[in-house]
Amino acid sequence: MIIITNALLGLPPVVVGLVVYLLLSRSGPLGSLGILFTPTAMIIAQAILGVPIVVALVHRMMVDVWAVYGDALLVDGASRLRAIASIMSIGREGQLTAFLAAFGRAIAEVGAIIIVGGNIRGYTRTMTTAIALETSKGDLSLALALGIVLIVLSMVVSGVSLFFGRALTGR
């Protein structure tokens, strides 16, 4: 399972976009849902890309927590399910880091969401896809403005992640 997760981490995002597109297109299995070229499709693509990140990070943090608390919980009579729930609560700051990592990944995504979203103005045009479009149009001012906002946002997310990581582990 870990091997699968690590393999999924290396998956090219644009391929994920292609697969989701094929699934959601009119002639595809989920075509009747009509969600291709909607924000929903973009959310699906970004979520698919984010799950391996969350699994990998949560797993890495939880292995340590489990090593400390796992046996004690099980010996005290907790079912495996309750023990897992308990370590998830104990390892809270790791969860936050994992969430922020997934968010950072999602906000930076371009290829997959251009494919499944269609970059439709006012509907499925995000910061990243707009930058790609405006730059190729040669309209650099909007691209630069969005780029600045995106960079600032990414730095804020990284900063928050670092801050909470330090603060919650008392380092």
Question: Which residues of this chain interact with other proteins, rule CB under 8 A?
Answer: 1-2, 5, 39, 42-59, 61-63, 65-66, 70, 79-81, 83-84, 87-88, 91, 95, 98-99, 102-103, 106-107, 109, 113, 122, 124-128, 130, 140-149, 153
CB-nearer residue toward other proteins: 27 or 77: 77
Q: Nearest distance from residue 116's CB to other proteins, in Å?
A: 11
Tell me how far apart the alpha carbons of residues 81 and 47 are, in angstroms, rounded to a whole number: 25
Cα atoms found within 13 Å of the Cα of residue 14, Cβ hemisphere only: 4
Q: Nearest distance from residue 57's CB to other proteins, in Å?
A: 7
Count of positions (residues) in the chain: 171
Gyration radius of the chain's alpha carbons = 20
Cα atoms found within 13 Å of the Cα of residue 89, Cβ hemisphere only: 7
CB-nearer residue toward other proteins: 18 or 145: 145
Tell me how far apart the alpha carbons of residues 60 and 169 are, in angstroms, rounded to a whole number: 15
CB-nearer residue toward other proteins: 31 or 69: 69
